[in-house]
Amino acid sequence: MTVAATSTSPPTTTGGQSGVRLARSRRNAELSLLLLAMVLVAAYGAMVEASVLDTVTPSFWVPAAALSAVFLGLHVVIRFLAPFADPALLPSVALLNGLGVGFLHRLDLARATPAERAELATFAGTGGRQLAWTLISVALAAGLLAVVRDHRSISRYAYTLGLAGIVLVMIPAVLPRSISEINGAKLWIRVGGLSIQPGEFAKLALLAFFAYYLVRKREVLSLASRRFLGVDLPRGRDLGPVVVVWLISLLVLVFEKDLGTSLLYFGMFVATLYIATERVSWLLIGLVLFFGGAYLAYVLGDVVGGPFANFYLRANIWLDPFADPYNDGYQLVQGLLALGSGGMFGAGPGAGQPLKLPEVQNDFIFAGLGEEIGLFGLSALLVVYLLIVERGLRAALAVHDSFGKLLAGGLAFTLGLQVFVIVGGISGLIPLTGQTTPFLSAGGSSLMANWLLIAILLRVSDAARRPVTGGGAPSTRPTGGPPEQLHGAPTEVIRP
């Protein structure tokens, strides 16, 4: 695999007067960071085996090597298709993804009897499935990079994507429970042995639509407004479609009984609106609406029950998880106990008892990891997440077109918010809601959707860092003015 690294030297711009620093592709930095991440993943696997099996098997490196092959493949694709993409994104995500596979394999080991452990194949169990999902997800990401050579072309399909997003969100709500419900949340499509979470993909589609629509309406949204109670409110007809999209997704989510996703959509919506209009009032309105709505749902859940009862229960568990530690509060209590048992340094990879945790391969994977890698390990993981989010926002800052800014900014923020919602949920900071932990949780939908998200960030960051003249990519594309679809949208903000 290293052949690829040496054979294709990064294209360098010579003679271009645009800043030399900008012109550096930093692909070799990406490669070395990626290899470092894979060494960490291999070391993690070795430590798990040393702890669980009391010996390091000769094949401990196989999963890490398989992952390395997959990620190096993507690295090569990036060299050709997005040579100026942010070099920190791929290694960071690869590290999280690799540790996720390693931890799921560690769970397989814990579930197996001592006799079965030695026999446990590398590609079996949830760890093996996650490895396969990683391959598919990375292939999808590479495909997206190949198909979408310019992120602005996404805006061409904005309305289609918006519609697709709504349909994706609605499918599980419409489907009968037997097909769509897992653990009380109707978020799934289960066909045969396969479970798909369409909401994960809807997130991307809806955000692309928001970005396109808000860019077009940005000017009117921020200028043409009516003053109401000292707050500038946009005209209804400008905001209508966005509010409708948002309301529909929220309503559907009430019926799908998943608070986390609804919170995620709401945050995504408010953030993109704020970025587009630069109006702090939108943030305030959003926060008031959200906290007011949450409080109302709590009160309604107490008085009326019905669709709000679930939220009322969850809020009460959050307020005092130890009130009913064996039933209602069981999950959260076990999460807290796992984290506390890990303490500062953790029990060590493979030395904890993650099977005491419910849903440890999904919602509670962060708590399961926390028991073994401790506060220091979890802090490091949080920093890696933060790095991905901030690099995404950096791409948004640097890219020239408004659509790209909104798209990358919104996606990066959504990723950060999702991490906040799930990690905050399992650690008792906010009420617990079912969310996957990006790149760590078992499951193909979440992994694929998040890798697609990363592919878009890679694409935008490539555009942001690409020197104005010349370039490594063979395609010729307009570097100046926006594509036709965006003719109505100015690229820069007029307002002071």
Partner 1 sequence: MNAPLRRVGLVVMVLFGLLFANLNWIQAYKADDYRNSDYNGRVQVAEYERKRGNIEAGGTAFAVSKETDGELEYLRTYPGGEKYAHAIGYKPVNLADTGIEEAENAFLAGTSDQLIGDRLRDLVTGDETAGANVLLTISEQAQDVAYEQLRDNRAGVSKGAAIALDPRTGAVQALVSMPSFDPNPLASHDSDEATTAYNKLQQNPDGPLKNRALGEVLPPGSTFKIVTAAAALENGVTQDTKIPAGPSWTPPTSGKPIENAAPSICPEEEVTLMNAVTESCNTGFAQLGVRLGADTLKEKARQFGFEQDDLTVGRLGEDGEPVAASRTGGMENPDGSVDQAALAQSSIGQRDVRMTPLQGALIAATVANDGSQMRPYLVSQILGADRTTNYYTAEPDELRQPVSDQVAADLREMMESVVQNGTGRNARISGYTVGGKTGTAESGPDTPDHGWFIGFALDEDGNPVSAVCVLLEESGDGGSAEAARIAGQIMRAAIASPGSR
Taking the least distance from each CB to partner 1, the nearer of 157 and 330 is: 330
Taking the least distance from each CB to partner 1, the nearer of 57 and 353 is: 353
**Comparing C-alpha atoms, which of 202, 200, 191, 138 is closest to residue 168?**
202
Taking the least distance from each CB to partner 1, the nearer of 196 and 357 is: 357
Work out how close the CB of 410 gets to partner 1 at its nearest, in angstroms, rounded to a whole number: 9
Taking the least distance from each CB to partner 1, the nearer of 337 and 473 is: 337
Q: What amino acid occupies position 42? A: A
Q: What tokens does 469 get?
A: 């003249």
Residues 218/277, Cβ–Cβ less than 8 Å: yes
Taking the least distance from each CB to partner 1, the nearer of 73 and 325 is: 325
Work out how close the CB of 416 gets to partner 1 at its nearest, in angstroms, rounded to a whole number: 4
Mutual orientation of helices 125-147 and 89-111 as an angle, nearest 10°?
Answer: 160
Work out how close the CB of 290 gets to partner 1 at its nearest, in angstroms, rounded to a whole number: 14
Taking the least distance from each CB to partner 1, the nearer of 133 and 212 is: 212
Taking the least distance from each CB to partner 1, the nearer of 6 and 113 is: 113
Please give the Cα distance from 238 to 285 (Å, whole number): 17
Work out how close the CB of 250 gets to partner 1 at its nearest, in angstroms, rounded to a whole number: 21
Taking the least distance from each CB to partner 1, the nearer of 100 and 392 is: 392
Check residue 11 and report its DSSP letter.
P
Work out how close the CB of 155 gets to partner 1 at its nearest, in angstroms, rounded to a whole number: 15
Taking the least distance from each CB to partner 1, the nearer of 67 and 315 is: 315
Could you give the residue ranges of the DSSP H alpha helices within 157-305?
A: 158-174, 177-180, 198-223, 236-256, 259-277, 280-303
- DSSP codes joined into one string, 103-155: HHHHHHHHHS-HHHHHH--TTSHHHHHHHHHHHHHHHHHHHHHHH-SSGGGGG
**Comparing C-alpha atoms, which of 484, 486, 271, 270 is closest to residue 396?**
271
Binding region for partner 1 (CB under 8 A): 114, 271, 274-276, 278, 322, 325-326, 333, 336-337, 339-344, 347, 351-353, 356, 370, 374-375, 378-379, 382, 385-386, 389-390, 393, 396-397, 402, 405-406, 409, 412-413, 416-417, 419-420, 423-424, 427-429, 493
Work out how close the CB of 333 gets to partner 1 at its nearest, in angstroms, rounded to a whole number: 6
**CA angle (8 as vertex; 99, 84 as ends), nearest 5:** 65
Please give the Cα distance from 18 to 75 (Å, whole number): 26
Work out how close the CB of 380 gets to partner 1 at its nearest, in angstroms, rounded to a whole number: 11
Q: Which residues pair with 190 in a beta bridge?
A: 195
Taking the least distance from each CB to partner 1, the nearer of 123 and 290 is: 290
Please give the Cα distance from 165 to 188 (Å, whole number): 15
Main-chain dihedrals φ then ψ at residue 182, nearest 5 degrees:
-135, 125
What size, in residues, is the chain?
496
Taking the least distance from each CB to partner 1, the nearer of 164 and 384 is: 384
Work out how close the CB of 222 gets to partner 1 at its nearest, in angstroms, rounded to a whole number: 11
Work out how close the CB of 303 gets to partner 1 at its nearest, in angstroms, rounded to a whole number: 31
**Comparing C-alpha atoms, which of 289, 331, 291, 296 is closest to residue 422?**
331
Work out how close the CB of 308 gets to partner 1 at its nearest, in angstroms, rounded to a whole number: 26
Residues 18-27: contacts with CB within 8 Å, 24+ apart? 18/467, 18/468, 18/469, 19/467, 22/465, 22/467, 23/84, 23/467, 25/83, 25/84, 25/87, 25/465, 25/472, 26/87, 27/75, 27/78, 27/79, 27/83, 27/87
Instruction: Kindly provide the b/e burial profile for residues 25-58, where b requires at least 16 CB atoms within 10 angstroms of the residue's own CB.
Output: bbbeebbebbbebbebbbebbbbbbbbbbeeebe
Please give the Cα distance from 124 to 271 (Å, whole number): 41
Q: Which residue has the tokens 């000769």?
A: 58
Helix (H, G, I), strand (E, B) or coil at 489: coil
Work out how close the CB of 162 gets to partner 1 at its nearest, in angstroms, rounded to a whole number: 21
Work out how close the CB of 38 gets to partner 1 at its nearest, in angstroms, rounded to a whole number: 25
Taking the least distance from each CB to partner 1, the nearer of 166 and 273 is: 273
